[in-house]
Structure 1
Amino acid sequence: MLAIRADLVDEIVAHARRDYPLEACGQLVGPESGDAAHRYVPMTNADELASDFAFAPAEDIALERDLDARGERRMLVVHSHTRVPRRPLTDSGLPEAYPSVKDVAQMEWTPDQHWLIVGLAAADGEPEVRSYRLADGEVVEDDLQVVESYMFSHTGPDDVPDRA
């Protein structure tokens, strides 16, 4: 199961709506030693296309330096799909928020990262939010759970959320 805080999902969807009809893109990041993303970093789509995305190189390098300084790492690649990516929906039966052929090729470069995709048919449409990863070269959908806060389950009755 992959848990992501609701406020982060809200930020991601808001970014996708702002950039519509272009694909929005960004990164969910978290502590180097943790397994929960704690902030969303929206990025510029250098491709400026409705059917593709690429991180702006200067922003990507700046993010890497910032992550190193903070002791953080990239955890999820995030982008939106504003149309069925290079495949007819009726033929495949796959959802809008499903990795395109190009997405899958890029997923191979970052096998330790999950890919969160927001399917958005209109700027004010209902978003479809899904997450995927590669397992033995095959696309596998994560069991995505949107939560209000992350809890430290190993601490007992004094558990507190990671944010107010």
Structure 2
Amino acid sequence: MLVIKRDVIEKIKEQAERDYPYETCGLLLGRTEGNKRIALEAFETPNANPDRKHDRYEIAPKDYMRAEDYAISKGLEIIGVYHSHPDHPDRPSEFDRQRAFPDLSYIILSVQKGKVSSYRSWELIGDKFEEEEVEVIE
């Protein structure tokens, strides 16, 4: 289960709309408590994919390390990844599955004609994604 602060999901939605028609991306920072991942901050990263920003995202290793250093400085950890699907549904693609790691939440936002229409969170269980419950808190 993913628990996310309202201001964090709003920041992610604004970023996805701003970066449309390209995929946006970033990392969720927070902590894990039992079977809950609690997202307290969104760490925006540039989409480092040089050729297919309209339908692929890539987080550069240096940006991942910057996020990890920042999280540690705040007593947090990387608990997930987010990205958008411009003019496509909020479910993971095969490309997303191939690049995913277990024990992280993956928020995917569907951005239709420049506006976020929906979002869902997923986790990799074995070799497939399963949707996870999302609870938005103040």
- TM-score with structure 1 length normalisation? 0.74
Structure 2: how far apart are the matches of 1:83 and 1:2?
24
Partner of 2:133: 143
The question of 1:2 aligning with 2:2 is answered yes
Structure 1, unmatched stretches of 5+, are: 85-95, 149-164
Structure 1: how far apart are the matches of 2:90 and 2:32?
28
Greater percentage in helix: 1
Tell me how many residue pairs correspond in the alignment.
134
The question of 1:44 aligning with 2:46 is answered yes
Partner of 1:106: 99
Distance 1:118 1:135, change over 3 A: same
Structure 2: how far apart are the matches of 1:23 and 1:134?
20
Structure 2: how far apart are the matches of 1:135 and 1:40?
23
Could you tell me whether the CA contact under 8 Å between 1:51 and 1:83 is conserved in 2?
no
Could you tell me whether the CA contact under 8 Å between 1:32 and 1:71 is conserved in 2?
no
1:11-65 CA distances to partner (integer Å, 9 max, x unpaired)? 0000001111110001110147684111111110011511000013322222222
After superposition, where does 1:39-78 map in structure 2 within 5 Å?
Answer: 39-47=41-49, 49-78=53-82
Distance 1:128 1:46, change over 3 A: same
Partner of 1:128: 118
Aligned residue identity for 2:42: Y
Partner of 1:152: none
Distance 1:132 1:33, change over 3 A: closer
Partner of 1:14: 14
Could you tell me whether the CA contact under 8 Å between 2:13 and 2:116 is conserved in 1?
no
Could you tell me whether the CA contact under 8 Å between 1:25 and 1:45 is conserved in 2?
yes
Structure 2, unmatched stretches of 5+, are: none
- TM-score with structure 2 length normalisation? 0.87
- Deviant stretches of 4+, over 6 Å: none
Q: Which has the larger radius of gyration?
A: 1
SS in 2 for 1:28: strand
SS in 2 for 1:14: helix
Supply the RMSD in Å over aligned alpha carbons.
Answer: 1.9
